[in-house]
Amino acid sequence: MVDPGLVVVDKSPGMTSHDVVARVRRLAGTRKVGHAGTLDPMATGVLVLGVDRATRLLGHLMLTEKSYDATIRLGVATTTDDAEGEVLETRAVDAVDPEAVRAELARFVGDIEQVPTAVSAIKVDGKRAYARVRDGEQVELKARPVTVHELVVHEVALPDVRISVRCSSGTYIRAIARDLGAALGVGGHLTALRRTAVGSFDLSLARTLEQLGEDFAVVPIAAAARATFPGVDLDDEQAAHVRFGRALDLALPDDGPHAVFAPGGEFLALYERRGDQARPVAVFV
């Protein structure tokens, strides 16, 4: 079995996130594998998986920002807001002004309220929204606050629009495609989506499943923690307290989780500031 850490997969199209987890379980020789946020079967790119006790890092990783490259097709609305759904409506895009496309996309940047796509994994009365849609139910989800940090328009070659997005976790790029089409009065859906980064883990670290089958590359848990959270190096006495989950008289530099390390570099825990002390969020030893 491999050492605990993160595996950064470059997911191929047509696979579910569960398919990837199942394959990595076989490669790692353990069932203790999880992922930090799903990717739709149509989507490709960065899928971060945790192996062994590193799976406990995943819940914190899911809160980090993500980056995507996407292609939107205007003039066609679908049931899933992407190319895998059934066509609901088709409209001509001849009268759409490319500058109007850019102007509407600029409105998505910042803190916005976004209605998730109906076929999302959000639970409605204990059942996934996509499962309700699949069973023929009408699903209406409430708008949620999300943040689009940056949206770059690379090309407007109607009916297609190529963009890159850097956004908060929970942002649906399919919903941006849908809402852009609605704002322009012609409908729209996503035809391609590639996740280029999850937090600090980007495509430069990602490996396809075929590559991992030849060389199973794992980001060690200590390196993963340093890459994701502000790091604090402790002395021996402080490290001993952390091993028992005790609070520390330690002034952390920022809000939010900090990765704390023993003098030899061993990753011990995530701590956060509470009043004048640092208290444990999760202990990994």
| Contact assessment for residue 33 and residue 50, using Cβ atoms and an 8 Å cutoff | yes
> Alpha carbon 1 to chain centroid distance?
27
pLDDT (tens digit per residue) in 83-102: 998 899 999 999 999 999 99
pLDDT, residue 131, reads: 65
pLDDT, residue 141, reads: 78
pTM: 0.89
Q: Report the distance separating Cα 132 and Cα 118, nearest Å.
A: 9
Per-position pLDDT tens, the chain of length 285: 688 899 999 999 999 999 999 999 999 999 999 998 888 899 999 999 999 989 988 888 776 899 999 999 999 999 889 999 889 999 999 999 999 999 999 999 999 999 988 766 667 666 666 666 566 666 677 899 999 999 999 999 999 999 999 999 989 999 999 999 999 999 999 999 999 999 889 999 999 999 999 999 999 999 999 988 999 999 999 999 999 999 999 999 888 899 999 999 999 999 999 988 999 999 998
In the annotation, is 40 catalytic?
Answer: yes
Q: 159: Cβ–Cβ under 8 A, 6 or more apart, which residues?
A: 73, 74, 75, 76, 93
Active-site hit among 40, 81, 82, 179: 40
Q: Report the distance separating Cα 158 and Cα 15, nearest Å.
A: 29
Domains of the chain (ranges, CATH numbers): 5-64+200-223 (3.30.2350.10), 66-196 (3.30.2350.10), 229-283 (2.30.130.10)
pLDDT, residue 130, reads: 62
Q: Report the distance separating Cα 47 and Cα 17, nearest Å.
A: 8
pLDDT, residue 264, reads: 94
Which residue's entry shows tokens 């729209």?
188
| Of the candidates 134, 149, 150, the residue with the CA atom closest to the CA atom of residue 80 | 134
Q: Report the distance separating Cα 113 and Cα 218, nearest Å.
A: 37
- Write down the H helix ranges in 135-251: 173-184, 209-214, 221-228, 236-243
Which residue's entry shows tokens 């699949």?
134
Strands 160-167 and 33-35: unpaired
pLDDT (tens digit per residue) in 100-124: 999 999 999 999 999 988 766 667 6
For the record, the structure tokens of 198 come out as: 């999850």
